[in-house]
Structure 1
Amino acid sequence: MTTTERPNVVLIHWHDVGTHLGAYGHGDVASPAVDRLASEGLRFDQAFCTTPLCSPARGSLFTGRYPHTNGLMGLVNRGWEYAPGERTVPSLLSELGYRTALIGQQHESRDPYRLGFDEVHPWLAGPARCGPVSQRAVEWLEAAPGEPFFLTVGFFETHRPYPADGYPPVDPASVEVPPYLPDNEHTRADLAGFLGSIRVADAATGRVVDAVERAGLADSTLLLFTTDHGIAYPRAKGTLYDPGIRVAFVARPPRSWGVAPGAPDGLLSHVDVLPTLVELAGGPVPPSVQGQSFASVLRGEPGRRRTEVFAEKNYHDEYDPIRGIRTDRYAYIRTLEPGTPPRLSGDIERGPVRLGLGEEQLRPRPAEELYDLDDDPWQLCDLAGDPSYAEVKAGLAARLDAWMSETNDPVLAGRVAAPSGSLDEGPVPR
């Protein structure tokens, strides 16, 4: 097989793990399967989702478009859906002769059969836990079709909660508390359960990767691993700081391509995945797609890379409009309803970490924030009011304004209305 031939694609995606994995420098995390995949392939260190919330983040991953353009601006179980006419990765690849299948987690529609897959194996009665999902994926791969295929394998993990009977916690004393969280017994106990969830999900990931090997598909299959957004902790999930929008993204090209393992330079956004897969499949990228292909990188060739990524937040438990731009060095964040405290999602509010959260974490937010990532990678020192950074802030603000205008961001016209109908947290296909 050569790089001009069309690869199979297996996309494994988790919930709420960000880059909290051994391959991304977290020494307290046991994730040998993902770490091995990263060592054998390409580990993208500057990959980002478009929003730190489940449904809209996944919507961008599968449409190559931002939440405010594809219509999925909030959670499916709160009434949001794709806008009419939206195209997805599986629908486009199906038209190009791929067999497409969904196994496990999805959170882009109340009706998974609307998503464009040829086969749907959803979990309608409860969360798509990684154990049974990985087993079904293994069985599917053992009988993989002869034509090129696109298989998505979605795990509920590492979404909260982390019950000890399903995810044996690690020793809280062994946990490395990120600098943006308070180090206390509540945080450590919470992180101990989270790390237990990672261990279980990682083992299931390894079973899927091993099935690709046993089925003799490694030479012809592109393996992708990612997550929807950052970890479910304060200053992460639900925020536009790096712990909220930076994600693991690992790609192992088909072995027959002979691409050397490594960590490619440059920024990457989840909106770039669709155009990349369509290009690799030999099809035209729809003009409505807002991402840019990185297929050349997967082939081991030089290619144009991003200089910036954009992110947004609209609806989770409540309306919370935020926009942001991230470059190699700077992060600029604009809160469109300033003066309000950070709005923690319900799962974080109900978690143990909330018990140890000081009031400093809930101080009112300014209209603008600016961070120099060279000196402040955890984004703890806001430079928006520093005169020496005024020119940098103005330049980033102008670039953000241009993006909002070019993409017809509805917040430019005022508050975005929630969809009519139910806004409860009722069951949704997982």
Structure 2
Amino acid sequence: MVIRPNVVIITCHDLGRHLGCYGVSTVQTPSIDRMAEDGVLFSNYFTVSPVCSPSRGTMLTGRYPQSNGLMGLTHAPWSWALNEGERHLSHLMSEAGYRTMLFGIQHETSNADSLGFQEMYAQRQGAGLPRSCQEVAGEVVGFLRINKEADRPFYAQIGFFETHRPFNFAGVEPDDSHGVYIPPYILDNEESRAQFAQLQGDVRSVDAAVQSIQEALRETGQERDTLFVFTADHGIEFPRAKWYCYDPGIEIALIMRWPGGGLEGGKRCESLLSNIDFLPTLLDLIDVSAPRNLDGTSFKALIPGQEADDTSAAPQKAVFSIFEGGLTMVHPTVSRAVRTEHYKLIRHFWPARKHEVPVNIANPELKQKMPVVQLFDLDKDPNEFCNVADDPAYAGILSELSGQLWAWLERVDDPILKGPTPTPYYQEAIADYIKK
């Protein structure tokens, strides 16, 4: 009989890699940093989408947004949804004999009951407001103390609202005690320092919540037999990050720790990876069969110290991303992108303007037309400021990456190849005409 570990997955809103263990020295994240020092940190891990629902849907179904149907935000007025019959990780874990629980938020559906969790805790409070990470962590700690004698493994999906705006959610105070880090794509001024100090306070609050869960696992004797995952859905909520396929929008943290399963020792995995592969990797690690219709593949064999049945597994040559914004708020873009170790190609399919960089967030002007094609040499231009798509020296790279991107769009039957993507709002509006 296979003895499977407990599985704990914490997902933060809008965090990217804004953590000490990923090089942001002014952020206080000692608990998450220790997890990286004791576990495995994935340094080159990206999301399929720089917005919440498509990223989470990809991570938890192992299927691209074009495949699972969740191409935009689930809540009104956008109302995107997973296709009927899509199987979420909670369904798969339940079928594998796990006790499945949701703590805090999810953003894969407007109806959490459809995800198949056996139990749900710390859901939204009055007026629909989410619970704070401290409240959610308190519920998790309470469960862990009761569960310590159980002989059935559990799957706990933990969703923190933080670090979504407003950064002072639940009364969090700014934190500039170690200074304030301003990314290169943001203008360093009084306004940016105030906003990033508030973000740093929010991140510090998340770290404290993570610490309380880690301590409860240790105190109740469940730490060794628990696969603990910490990750995020997409980048921080600032211009050129969230909502955009630039690296600050799609780069995300992934840290795993499982002392009983060899995910320990402060290892680093530097392979280029995508969260489309998270679900098959997780199932591979805990010895649960994966569905055959997945777009993703396991990267277990690439994790230092792990053995895998498929010894032929190789690092990805490219990862792909999608943003189906349309007229979403102040982000009227529709983009598809391919990223390799050295280059990034973004194609835009909707009229939009680009930011002047570095962006003055006190007045984030959108001036010039967004080029239809953007190509960046990430070795020379890691901030993606200089578009070389029209440079003859890069013609070969442009052709190669364009071919990869078009082939991916064809493979996932992306609706953008047939015209502007019909949104759920459009389908609702045109329903009467279709009946006619």
| TM-score of the two chains, using structure 2 as the length reference | 0.89
SS in 2 for 1:250: strand
Count of residues paired in the alignment: 411
Q: CA deviation at 1:410?
A: 0.7
SS in 1 for 2:335: strand
What are the ranges of 5 or more consecutive residues in structure 1 without an aligned counterpart? Answer: 344-351, 424-430
CA distance in structure 2 between the partners assigned to 1:214 and 1:202 by the alignment:
18
Tell me, yes or no, if structure 1 residue 134 matches structure 2 residue 144: no
Asked if structure 1 preserves the Cα contact closer than 8 Å seen for 2:187 and 2:361, the reply is no
SS in 1 for 2:205: helix
- The equivalent position to 1:143 in structure 2, one of 146, 153, 174, is 146
The 5 Å alignment of 1:13-412 reads: 13-77=11-75, 78-125=78-125, 126-144=129-147, 145-163=150-168, 166-171=171-176, 174-255=179-260, 257=262, 259-298=264-303, 300-301=306-307, 303-315=313-325, 316-317=328-329, 320-338=333-351, 340-342=352-354, 354-357=361-364, 359=365, 362-412=367-417
Asked if structure 1 preserves the Cα contact closer than 8 Å seen for 2:256 and 2:263, the reply is no
SS in 1 for 2:144: helix
Q: Deviations over 1:110-162 (max 9, x none)?
A: 21111121212252331131010000011111223421221111110000012
Deviates further, 257-266 or 241-250:
257-266
- The structure showing larger relative contact order (alpha-carbon pairs under 8 Å, at least 6 residues apart) is 1
Q: CA deviation at 1:256?
A: 5.3
SS in 1 for 2:289: coil
Q: Deviations over 1:3-36 (max 9, x none)?
A: x742221101111010111000011111111111
Q: Deviations over 1:42-74 (max 9, x none)?
A: 110111111011111111111111112111111
- Inter-CA distance 256–240: structure 2 relative to 1 (3 Å threshold): closer
CA distance in structure 2 between the partners assigned to 1:58 and 1:64 by the alignment:
10
Asked if structure 1 preserves the Cα contact closer than 8 Å seen for 2:302 and 2:315, the reply is no
> 1:238 is matched by which residue type in structure 2?
W
- Inter-CA distance 249–183: structure 2 relative to 1 (3 Å threshold): same
Q: CA deviation at 1:422?
A: 11
Asked if structure 2 preserves the Cα contact closer than 8 Å seen for 1:101 and 1:117, the reply is yes
> 2:143 is matched by which residue type in structure 1?
W
Q: CA deviation at 1:101?
A: 0.8
The percentage of aligned residue pairs carrying the same residue is 39
Deviates further, 124-133 or 45-54:
124-133
CA distance in structure 2 between the partners assigned to 1:94 and 1:165 by the alignment:
33
- Inter-CA distance 175–138: structure 2 relative to 1 (3 Å threshold): same
Aligned residue in 2 for 1:347 = none
SS in 1 for 2:240: coil
Asked if structure 2 preserves the Cα contact closer than 8 Å seen for 1:50 and 1:60, the reply is yes
- The equivalent position to 2:5 in structure 1, one of 4, 7, 16, is 7
> 1:311 is matched by which residue type in structure 2?
S
Q: Deviations over 1:152-192 (max 9, x none)?
A: 11110000012287221123992121110111111111111
> 1:355 is matched by which residue type in structure 2?
A
Asked if structure 2 preserves the Cα contact closer than 8 Å seen for 1:272 and 1:292, the reply is yes
Asked if structure 2 preserves the Cα contact closer than 8 Å seen for 1:8 and 1:148, the reply is yes
Deviates further, 316-325 or 254-263:
254-263
CA distance in structure 2 between the partners assigned to 1:87 and 1:342 by the alignment:
37
Q: CA deviation at 1:421?
A: 8.4
- Inter-CA distance 41–324: structure 2 relative to 1 (3 Å threshold): same
CA distance in structure 1 between the partners assigned to 2:182 and 2:47 by the alignment:
23
Q: CA deviation at 1:259?
A: 4.4
CA distance in structure 2 between the partners assigned to 1:411 and 1:172 by the alignment:
47
CA distance in structure 1 between the partners assigned to 2:20 and 2:80 by the alignment:
35
Asked if structure 2 preserves the Cα contact closer than 8 Å seen for 1:186 and 1:356, the reply is no
Q: CA deviation at 1:81?
A: 1.2
Aligned alpha-carbon RMSD (Å): 2.4
SS in 1 for 2:210: helix
SS in 2 for 1:247: coil
CA distance in structure 1 between the partners assigned to 2:138 and 2:94 by the alignment:
24
SS in 2 for 1:186: helix
SS in 2 for 1:312: strand
CA distance in structure 2 between the partners assigned to 1:196 and 1:259 by the alignment:
28
- Inter-CA distance 310–256: structure 2 relative to 1 (3 Å threshold): closer
Asked if structure 2 preserves the Cα contact closer than 8 Å seen for 1:225 and 1:251, the reply is yes
CA distance in structure 2 between the partners assigned to 1:296 and 1:221 by the alignment:
20
SS in 2 for 1:355: coil
- Inter-CA distance 147–164: structure 2 relative to 1 (3 Å threshold): closer
Asked if structure 2 preserves the Cα contact closer than 8 Å seen for 1:172 and 1:189, the reply is no
What are the ranges of 5 or more consecutive residues in structure 2 without an aligned counterpart? Answer: 429-436
Q: Deviations over 1:343-400 (max 9, x none)?
A: 9xxxxxxxx974243x3x5432101111111122111121111111110111011001
